[in-house]
Amino acid sequence: MARPGSGLLVPVNGLGYPPQNLARVVVWEWLNEHGRWRPYSAAVCHHIENVLKGDARGTVVLGQVDGQLSPYVIDLQSMHQFRQDTGTMRPVQRNFYEPSSAPGKGVVWEWENDSGSWTPYDMEICVTIQNAYEKQHPWLDLTSLGFCYLIDFNSMCQTNRQSQRKRRLRRRMDLAYPLIMGSIPKSQSWPVGASSGQPCSCQQCILVNSTRAASNAILASQRRKLYGGTAGNLGTTGTLAVVRQSNTFAGTSLWSPTSASSGPNNINISMGGGQAKAEQMQLPLSAANFPCSPVMPSLSSTHGHHALIINGQNNLNRPGTQRISMGTARGAIPPGVPALPVKNLTGSGPVHPALAGMTGILMCAAGLPVCLTRAPKPILHPPPINKSDMKPVPGINGMRRKTKKKHLRRGKNPEDVVRRYTEKIKVAPDEDCTICMERLVMSSGYEGVLQHKGIKPELVGKLGKCGHMYHLLCLVAMYNNGNKDGSLQCPTCKTIYGEKTGTQPPGKMEYHVIPHCLPGYPDSKTIRIVYDIPAGIQTNEHPNPGKKFSARGFPRHCYLPDNEKGRKVLKLLIMAWDRRLIFTIGTSSTTGESDTVVWNEIHHKTEFGSNLTGHGYPDPNYLDNVLTELSAQGVGEDNLKD
């Protein structure tokens, strides 16, 4: 249907700030690696607001409302999202919009990504698109928002103005974001929850409180050693006064007003909270200390959360100011202040990144000076490569393999498969059958539960290669509970009889040589493997037939050295791919998401130029380890043809 009216060039940023005494919609957002604020879903925002009402200085466990976010928690004191398994910290903010805007109505605008799934726009863009849509503009230009895209409401597509590539977009209805009433207090950057004065007795709170107390003691000891307990004079011309106060462990007030006055050439920065005595330190005020800004606004800390005060007003609830206040606070830390490396992924120290990250959150919440060091980013991909530079792997035909929806290879029937790999035992030994846990001299535990012609419950068989013995009826039951692909695996020693296949969904595997070397292999080029599996519907061989499964992180790039052993591993990986053993459908150990494509116990190196995550190079034992893992899946070197 054609939409009347003229197109729209965006003149505003789409953000709504109603008067302080009106209702507004709350949207919580996190800062991604590209500097964009990405909104949490409406359900997650409702959950955060509910926790906020109960304890404004608490911790929000995001996995309680969204299984895909199970590794993440939000610390309301430091306003950071914390990933528990890696220690990664990202700033979060609490943003406000008009109740009549898209989040207030539960409207979500999304664009279709390369994998065919839908990705929501940033909230400010979503608000802008919805405004243009309601005014029946036929198109919308997002150039003024920093995006070279043109939105066409007639065809419901997004066009890249540079590449002319088009993507579908859609508008869907979802849960409306939480609505709040009343004004935002100007005197504090964060709502202060009532404290009971008694710490919680659960294990998590005991850990938090004990760590906080220990960090206070350590920092107090370090400050005494560094400064000798002497206090400088406040307000001296040409000096910088930094007030640092220890946080009290009990549930007493964490903030007492501190004077923020300064002399003509002074800047007074107040950090921390509590009722302990302030320790002061003086530094010459020069361009060396503040190279970026000749005039710096004062910082005040309310319950461990640093507020940016400009012209006497709190601005932490406005977009962008967290980044300003964070950068300003870093510049304000003078030399000699104890610093904590909260990201330690290079192996240069004994602190685990998750422990370091949690310690950083606690110290920040306690009002203590913390220097957040920036971790080196992993080098996941090689430099850009022309298609002409991608060469076939020597000794391997082709550069691509595909798997399609096909029925698994089946034996004639379970009894035939069991008989193929076993021989009957006339006199059974007096020992347990490790499948049913009954004695072999007795009948199978599946007697009366499972019946097959020609296999009596008391018959015992011995597997041909390993010699382990079981009730034949127990082996039939075990086969029926597996893939029914004509293979059998000894439950005791894992010896595989026949050709084992898996439940990997359809997809494609590509492999080629690129002209770059991996760390630890300076004389070899690199074999790059690209796996791509789309989302789909589970079949009878999967955990939940008929239910959709997701495929996160595809295409996945993996790397091997282009040497003799690397090519041998690639040949076996191709064989494992053909047997559908590389991936399976299950629960992700990283995100906790169920019904998703996961690795199937054959490790791959997905980090090209570093080894910060443990999935990169150098790793001198990797090739031998992956050969062992492939052999455990029945894909051994003896399967390779000369």
Helix (H) or strand (E) holding 128: helix 123-134
The alpha carbon of residue 75 and the mean position of all alpha carbons in its chain are separated, in whole angstroms, by: 16
Nearest to 8 by CA among 138, 99, 122, 124: 138
Whether residues 628 and 522 fall in one domain: yes
How far apart (Å, rounded) are the C-alpha atoms in residues 66 and 45?
A: 11
How far apart (Å, rounded) are the C-alpha atoms in residues 535 and 550?
A: 5
Tell whether 406 is covered by a domain: no
Whether residues 128 and 42 fall in one domain: yes
DSSP classification of residue 427: S
Max intra-chain CA distance, the chain: 102
How far apart (Å, rounded) are the C-alpha atoms in residues 69 and 204?
A: 19
Of 429, 461, 490, which one is at a domain's C-terminal end?
A: 490
Whether residues 469 and 524 fall in one domain: no
Whether residues 486 and 515 fall in one domain: no
How far apart (Å, rounded) are the C-alpha atoms in residues 2 and 4?
A: 7
Mean pLDDT score across all residues of the chain: 73
User: Could you tell me the residue range of the domain that residue 93 belongs to?
Assistant: 23-141+173-181
| Residue 233 CB neighbour total at 10 angstroms | 9
Whether residues 35 and 177 fall in one domain: yes
Tell whether 347 is covered by a domain: no
Whether residues 484 and 511 fall in one domain: no
| Residue 486 CB neighbour total at 10 angstroms | 19
Query: What tokens appear for 296 in the block?
Result: 């710096």
Whether residues 35 and 132 fall in one domain: yes
β pairing state of 166-173 and 107-112: antiparallel
Q: pLDDT band at 601, cuts 50/70/90?
A: confident
How far apart (Å, rounded) are the C-alpha atoms in residues 546 and 619?
A: 41
Task: Name residue 584's beta-bridge partners.
Answer: 598
Whether residues 507 and 623 fall in one domain: yes
Q: pLDDT band at 6, cuts 50/70/90?
A: low
CB 578 within 8 A of CB 312: no
Report the pLDDT value the prediction gives residue 42, as an integer from 0 to 100.
Answer: 93
DSSP string, 78-103: TTEEEETTT--EEEEEEEEE-TTSHH
The alpha carbon of residue 603 and the mean position of all alpha carbons in its chain are separated, in whole angstroms, by: 19
Mean pLDDT of 296-316: 37
CA distances from 37 to 10, 228, 335 (A): 19, 43, 32
How far apart (Å, rounded) are the C-alpha atoms in residues 405 and 394?
A: 30
Query: What tokens appear for 587 in the block?
Result: 């629960």
The alpha carbon of residue 176 and the mean position of all alpha carbons in its chain are separated, in whole angstroms, by: 25
β pairing state of 239-245 and 507-514: unpaired
Tell whether 604 is covered by a domain: yes
pTM over 0.85: no
How far apart (Å, rounded) are the C-alpha atoms in residues 459 and 83?
A: 54
Taking only the tens place, the pLDDT of each residue in 361-393 is: 666 656 555 555 555 678 888 998 898 999 999
Tell whether 358 is covered by a domain: no
How far apart (Å, rounded) are the C-alpha atoms in residues 535 and 414?
A: 32
Report the pLDDT value the prediction gives residue 224, as an integer from 0 to 100.
Answer: 59
CB 486 within 8 A of CB 409: yes
CA distances from 451 to 434, 441, 447, 474 (A): 20, 19, 7, 11
Q: Is the dihedral of CA 560, 563, 569, 570 positive or negative?
A: positive
How far apart (Å, rounded) are the C-alpha atoms in residues 307 and 322?
A: 8
Give the CATH number for residue 553.
Answer: 3.30.390.130
Residue 123 three-state SS: helix
How far apart (Å, rounded) are the C-alpha atoms in residues 138 and 28?
A: 30
β pairing state of 422-425 and 548-549: unpaired
Higher pLDDT, 3 or 611: 611
Residue that has been written with the tokens 């298609």 in this structure:
387
Helix (H) or strand (E) holding 588: none
Tell whether 131 is covered by a domain: yes
Of 490, 519, 543, which one is at a domain's C-terminal end?
A: 490
Taking only the tens place, the pLDDT of each residue in 440-469 is: 999 888 887 777 767 888 899 999 889 999
Q: pLDDT band at 344, cuts 50/70/90?
A: very low
Of 443, 469, 490, which one is at a domain's C-terminal end?
A: 490
Whether residues 116 and 85 fall in one domain: yes
Report the pLDDT value the prediction gives residue 445, as an integer from 0 to 100.
Answer: 86
Whether residues 553 and 485 fall in one domain: no
Whether residues 572 and 434 fall in one domain: no
Higher pLDDT, 330 or 6: 6
pLDDT above 70 (res 43): yes
DSSP classification of residue 349: S
Give strand ranges (E) for 518-567.
526-532, 536-537, 548-549, 556-561
| Cα angle: 30, vertex 32, 38; to 5 degrees | 45
Higher pLDDT, 248 or 132: 132
Taking only the tens place, the pLDDT of each residue in 161-215 is: 888 889 999 999 999 999 988 654 332 233 333 334 444 555 444 544 554 454 4
| Residue 192 CB neighbour total at 10 angstroms | 14
Q: For the chain, first and last CA: distance in Å?
A: 64
Q: pLDDT band at 352, cuts 50/70/90?
A: low
Tell whether 107 is covered by a domain: yes
Q: pLDDT band at 434, cuts 50/70/90?
A: confident
Tell whether 354 is covered by a domain: no
Phi-psi region of 543 (alpha: psi -120 to 50; beta: other; left: phi over 0): alpha
β pairing state of 89-97 and 24-31: antiparallel
DSSP string, 190-253: SPPPP--SS---SHHHHHHHHHHHHHHHHHHHHHHHHHTT----TT-TTEEEEEEEPPPSSSS-
β pairing state of 496-497 and 536-537: unpaired
How far apart (Å, rounded) are the C-alpha atoms in residues 470 and 488?
A: 13
| Residue 118 CB neighbour total at 10 angstroms | 15
Nearest to 189 by CA among 78, 113, 292: 78
CB 10 within 8 A of CB 150: no
Report the pLDDT value the prediction gives residue 87, as an integer from 0 to 100.
Answer: 72
Give the CATH number for residue 91.
Answer: 3.30.720.50
Query: What tokens appear for 600 in the block?
Result: 């199937």
Give the CATH number for residue 472.
Answer: 3.30.40.10
CB 435 within 8 A of CB 404: no
Q: String of b and e for 540-570 (b: at least 16 CB within 10 Å)?
A: ebbeeeeeebbbbebbbbbbbbbeeebbbbb
Tell whether 563 is covered by a domain: yes
Q: pLDDT band at 59, cuts 50/70/90?
A: confident
The alpha carbon of residue 76 and the mean position of all alpha carbons in its chain are separated, in whole angstroms, by: 19
Count of structural domains, the chain = 3
How far apart (Å, rounded) are the C-alpha atoms in residues 169 and 166?
A: 10
Whether residues 453 and 507 fall in one domain: no
